[in-house]
Structure 1
Amino acid sequence: MSHAAAQAEPSAPITVPVPLGERAYDILVGRGLIGTAGARIAALGARAAAIVTDAHVGPLYADALAASLEAQGLRISVTVLPPGEATKSYAGLERVCDAVLEARIERGDLVVALGGGVIGDLAGFAAAVVRRGVRFVQVPTTLLSQVDSSVGGKTGINSRHGKNLVGAFHQPSLVLADTALLDTLPIREMRAGYAEVVKYGLIDDPGFFAWCEAHWREVFAGGPERDRAVAQSCRAKAAVVVRDEHENGDRALLNLGHTFGHALERITAYDSARLVHGEGVAIGLCLAFRFSASLGLCPRADAERVEAHLKAAGLPTRLGDVPGGCGTVDALLDAMAQDKKVKGGALTFILARGIGQSFIAPGIEAESVRAFLRDETNTSRP
């Protein structure tokens, strides 16, 4: 990313409301929003803001964001953390909580998460627990965080038992998704975020999936198609969150592809050199559709269409695409057994009757998953 991206010609932002009563907030999507962040964040009424960022994003945007906030009279602190999934840990949480307390952030003040999903999840969790809850703002800087992790109030850290198993629901007060920040995002990160965009079409919007098939190159290139893809993804997620804020029902649909994807991340020990979250989701989406087809639920042609589109966008689609392999079938099943969606020892999957026809399938027997994974392992080639 570059300063040039941050100074991109502003566009009128698209506003996506998240109507959660007293916890309602807006997601703003558009180019150049960093430049207006100070006024928008100051309007929330805080007197101080603790910016939390990482060593990749901080040198590019933290000074500009801090200056924008200081110009509105806010007292500012900046905490810079190491980049990468390993920062989403108990040690990382302790460091952020201490920094927020040291900055004398009170309940009426704000924590501002400036970064990708790791920073958003970690800073959001710190905001949820410091002083038993202070407000926070998401300024997501990757496609993945703009369309997924910054929306909906899920915050948390990883433990040795699995990903995101320690956390809290804590809604932000505002989300500023500046799509200009994606202009020079590494292509691998862009692709990884795009897997989550595609997911929204696969859940319940076949028209959006078809739009993605037609316009994905423009989404990558930037311009109005990117803004539309981000806004539509946020709209889709917000609608589910409003129906089911604490994931007791419909919200589980957002985990399409994630039961497999999270297991792959655990197998690869969250080593981003081998696999990043969006790549795990891409393989997981393909596995979910192929598993659905193997159970006779979904036309094989739909599973093939999903794989063809993700492959065209440069994403992995098979177990054999994971560098260094993904372990044994038993290891994968064991990783899935740690998933938050396990109930009574039986696995809950999000399966599909077709593109845009996903549903929650509780009580899937481990043996049918084992047989499917055995087939996938035997047929999957790097």
Structure 2
Amino acid sequence: MAVHLLSASRLPVAKSINQNSWEMGGTLVREALERSGLESVDAIYASSMMSGELEGQMHLASLIADEAGLAGVEAMDISAVSASGAAAIRAAYLAIQSGEVNSVAVVGVERMSAGDANPVLRKALHAVRESEKTMVLKNADALAMYLKNHSVQYESFVNFAINAHRNGAKNPLALFQKEVDEAKVVEARIIAEPLRLYDCSPVCDGGACIVLSRSDHKAGDVKLAASACSTDRFVLEDRQDPLDFLAARKSFQKACDSSGRNTPDFKFFEVHDAFNIMACLCLEACGFASKGRGFRLAEDGDIYADGKLPIATMGGLKARGHPIGATALYQAAEIHAQLTETAGANQLPAEKIGPALMQSIGGAGTTLFTHFFEPA
């Protein structure tokens, strides 16, 4: 049974949004539903990593249903830390495939400005063994290891940030709408050696929603062709090779096996570039580059909009922003915009309108969701 992505809605990403997450969610669901051509949906699945801790509000999906005027529908909160939105998309995909529901509104919201986000972010790591670590430090360690093991200079990574900001500069919904050059990236302040400011995604607020439906219920312009999830050892140091994104590779292969697609088929990639090293390792895990060579796709310009494999086409997590629970919904909405040729100044060339890949990372590469989209 085919699952179609009918419509999407997005809020501008901002440092602070003066609205509760459930109010944001209600608005987004109403807008996406209106654009879908459906009168209602059978279910609402909501994702937010921080609303319970920073806003004191759990039971979010039911509250969003009420805010959207849809009290009575099935409603569930879905969580997988920084991959929560992707987990919600997968839950909706499976529910529709099972035949239990015909249509689902998947909504992700996050107000990271509502309190101190750092203690919440730490909870994505091992509470005992990694209590002194942060996600920034884990990614700094990974980048340092990569540079050393593969004899690579930091400058080889700068195009990840340059590409993200070039695309973000054209996206009116992006948090950062200014381009950066190599000098600005290299000379930026160090966050945790060797990570610099432009290697890291920002703390921000935002929300996005998509409506998914069975093809025989309501056909749309975009097909959600595959959904898969895999995990790795929870603690990075327990992995045989911390620079092998095993969960990314396995979830990608699962999605390939179920869809008949493979690496050469994909025209663009909405990658989880919360840190530049994550983007690099995902490119390698999915077979776009051999081990230790993912940085070359950036260095050679292949990741640009006019390159061989455009990534982060509307700014990615780095420039559009990374409002945690909403991020995967932004990624899916941006793919919908590209495939329906409604991406405005960010629109990819016609030859790139084809199968699209999306990956979402929970924790330090611990949980990986892969989704494939294609024109219907």
Considering the TM-score relative to the shorter chain, is it more than 0.5? no
TM-score, normalising length from structure 2?
Answer: 0.31
TM-score, normalising length from structure 1?
Answer: 0.31
Q: Which structure's relative contact order is higher, taking Cα pairs within 8 Å and 6+ residues apart?
A: 2
Larger radius of gyration: 1
Structure with the bigger percentage of helix = 1
